[in-house]
Structure 1
Amino acid sequence: MKTKKLLALLLTGAMTATLLAGCGSSNNNADGGAADSGADAAQSDLAYVQDKGTLVVGITEFEPMDYQDASGEWIGFDADLAKAFAESLGVKAEFQLIDWDNKVMELDGKTIDVVWNGMTLTDEVKSAMSCSNAYCSNAQVVIVPSDKAADYQDAESVKGLSFAVETGSAGKDEVEALGASFTEVADQATALMEVASGTSEAAVIDSLMAAAMVGEGTSYANLTYTVGLNSEEYGVGFRKGSDLTEKLNKFFKTCYEDGTMMKIAEQYGVQAALIEQ
C-alpha cells in the first residue's frame, strides 16, 4: 500500500554477486571518454581511482539508498549500484560517512571520490560538481505523527510547525521556502527521531526514505507522511572535470537496458522511481 501511496505522491540484504558481475562486465566494453573539457587539464579521476584500487563513496545513513545490515555491511539501492560500478572499473567500493553540508569540500579534498546518496540535482549541486544523468525521481515530504496527520494535508497547514531538517538538504530548502521554523540535524534519520521523540513537530525528508522508514511495519509505525512539497531527481556527483561522470552514465545505460538496475531497485522497493536511461 505504501508503494501505491508513494506513486500517487510523486505522480510520477545486498544484491547477489551474479547481478553485480553481470552489470559490471557489460560496462567493461564501454568507452569511458571524458565527461567535461576540463578532464584533460586535470589528472584523470579514472586513473587516480584505478591506481589506488578504491572508489570512496560519500554517504549518509539513508534507507533504502545507503544503510547498514546486521553485519555492518553497507547495502541499499545506491550502495549496490556503487559496488557494481566500482567492480566495472576493477576497484573496490569503500563507503565513507560524511557531513552532508560539507560534501563538496570532501569531494574536492579527495577524502571521497563520489557523492552517491540520493542526492537531489539542485542548481547548486550541478554548479559545484560534475553530475551524472538523473536516475531516480523523488519528492520532499512532510513527516508528522500519524494521529495528527488529518490536520496537515496541505502546505498552508504545516507552515506553523517546528521542523527538523538535514543540514544542507533539499528538505531544508523546502522548509525555508515555507517560512517555517526549523532545527538542523546531522541526517534525515535523526530528523525522524526528532519527530518520534516529540522534540520537533514535523520533519521534511525524501519520499523514498519515507516509504521505507515510516508507517505500519516500520520502526516508526506512529509516524506518517502527508504533504509533498516538490518533485525532484537524483544524480551522482564527481569532481568538476571528472572523466568518471561519462563512465557512470554509460554504466547506468547498460544496467538499465540489461535489467540489472530494475532488479536492484525491486529488491529495495524503489522501482517506481527509476528514470529511463
Structure 2
Amino acid sequence: MKKKKYRLLTMIILLAILAVVGCGRKKTETDQWARIHSEKRVIIGLDDSFVPMGFQNKSGEIIGFDIDLARAVFDLYGITVDFQPIDWSMKENELQNQTIDLIWNGYSKSAEREEKVLFSDEYMKNEQVVVSLKKNNLNSFTDMKGKILGAQNGSSGYNSFEEQPKILKNLVKDQTAILYDGFNEAFMDLKSGRIDGLLIDRVYANYYLSHEDNLANFSIVSGQFESEAFAVGLRKSDKELAKKINTAFEKLRKTGELAKISKEWFGEDVTK
C-alpha cells in the first residue's frame, strides 16, 4: 500500500511540474517585445554548423558573424542573447511554437518565407553557388548534367532548387539532391567523391574554402538563381520587436560597429 501511495504521489508531483513548465511560455499572438525587455533575455534559433554566420568552434562555443551582430543589437537594450541550436528544417515551427524568439543565422528572405514570418530589414547580400572539386571540370550549372548534387535540408538553396527546376534540378542525376542536416558532412562527401557538387550559400563557401589547406582543389560556380538577402525572422505579431532590431541595425551602421564586425569575419564590409 505504501508503494502505491508513493507512486501516486510521485506521479502527481511530476504532473504538477510539467504543468508549471508548460505554462512558462504560452503560445500567444501578442507582440513579445515587452516580455523580452522585462526578462532581459531573448532566445535565437540557429543551425550551429553554418560557418561563418553561427557555428560551434572546436571548444563547443557558438561563434560567428550573426552571433556577434545579434549580441551587438541586444546590448543596446541591455538584453542577454541565448543561442539555441535547432533542426533547421523545422525553424519556422520552432518560432511559432515559441521555443525560440528569433530565427537569426544566415536566414534568407523569400516570398515563400514571408507567408510564415515577419522579416527585419535586410543586412547582407548572398547568392547560391555550386562548389565542386576542380577535377570534376565544373564551369557552369549545365556541367552538373547527370551528376550527383548535395544540398542542405530546409535551406534557401534547396528551396530555390525545387521551385526553379529549369536552372539546376532538371540537370542533375534523378532530378533530386542528397540532403544533409549540415554542410560539414556535405563537404566530407564532396571531398570523398560521393557527390559531384554542393549547392551552398556563397558566404559559407567563401569562408569554408578560405580555411582549407587545399583551396586550389575547389571551384565555385554561380548560376541563374536570384541573389538573396539575409534578415532576421520573427513571428508576424512581433512588430515592435522588429522595429527595435531595425533601429539597432541603423545605429550600428552609423557608429561603424556593423562594418567592424563584418571585417572581422570577412575581411571586408559585406553588409547592406
Q: TM-score with structure 2 length normalisation?
A: 0.79
- Give the unaligned 5+ runs of structure 1: 1-40
2:122 corresponds to 1:134: yes
- Letter matched to residue 235 of structure 2: R
Out of 243, 247, 250, which is 1:250 matched to?
247
Aligned partners of 1:214 and 1:224 also within 8 Å: no
**Matching residue of 1:203:** 198
**Matching residue of 1:57:** 44
Aligned to 1:56, the other structure's residue is in SS state strand
- Residue 270 of structure 1 and its aligned partner are, at CA, apart by 6.3
Aligned partners of 1:141 and 1:206 also within 8 Å: yes
**Aligned positions, number:** 232
Aligned partners of 1:69 and 1:75 also within 8 Å: yes
Aligned partners of 1:213 and 1:220 also within 8 Å: no
More deviation, 220-229/129-138? 220-229
- Letter matched to residue 138 of structure 2: Y
Q: Which has the higher contact order (CA 8 A, sep 6+)?
A: 1
Distance in 2, Cα, partners of 1:225 & 1:109:
38
Aligned partners of 2:260 and 2:269 also within 8 Å: no
Aligned partners of 2:141 and 2:221 also within 8 Å: no
**Matching residue of 2:87:** 99
**Matching residue of 1:164:** 150
2:229 corresponds to 1:238: no
Task: Give a deviation string over 1:80-114, Cα, whole Å, max 9, x none.
Answer: 01112222232211111111111110001111110
2:256 corresponds to 1:259: yes
Aligned to 1:233, the other structure's residue is in SS state strand
Distance in 1, Cα, partners of 2:112 & 2:71:
27
More deviation, 183-192/78-87? 183-192
Out of 186, 191, 196, which is 2:186 matched to?
191
Task: Give a deviation string over 1:144-179, Cα, whole Å, max 9, x none.
Answer: 11322xx22122222322111111112113333222
Aligned partners of 1:165 and 1:171 also within 8 Å: yes
Aligned partners of 1:208 and 1:270 also within 8 Å: no
- Give the unaligned 5+ runs of structure 2: 1-27
Distance in 1, Cα, partners of 2:161 & 2:188:
18
CA RMSD of aligned residues (A): 1.9
Task: Give a deviation string over 1:64-85, Cα, whole Å, max 9, x none.
Answer: 1112334332221110011122
- Letter matched to residue 119 of structure 1: Y
- Letter matched to residue 97 of structure 1: P
**Matching residue of 2:32:** 45
**Matching residue of 1:28:** none
Distance in 1, Cα, partners of 2:108 & 2:267:
16
Aligned to 1:82, the other structure's residue is in SS state helix
Distance in 2, Cα, partners of 1:116 & 1:166:
17
Aligned partners of 2:120 and 2:246 also within 8 Å: yes
- Residue 272 of structure 1 and its aligned partner are, at CA, apart by 4.5
Task: Give a deviation string over 1:247-275, Cα, whole Å, max 9, x none.
Answer: 11111011011100000000001635311
Cα pair distance change 1:198/1:68, threshold 3 Å = same
Q: Which has the larger radius of gyration?
A: 2
More deviation, 258-267/46-55? 46-55
- Letter matched to residue 52 of structure 1: E
- Residue 186 of structure 1 and its aligned partner are, at CA, apart by 0.5
Aligned to 1:273, the other structure's residue is in SS state coil
- Letter matched to residue 246 of structure 1: K
**Matching residue of 2:62:** 74
Distance in 2, Cα, partners of 1:198 & 1:245:
44
In percent, how many aligned pairs have the same letter? 29
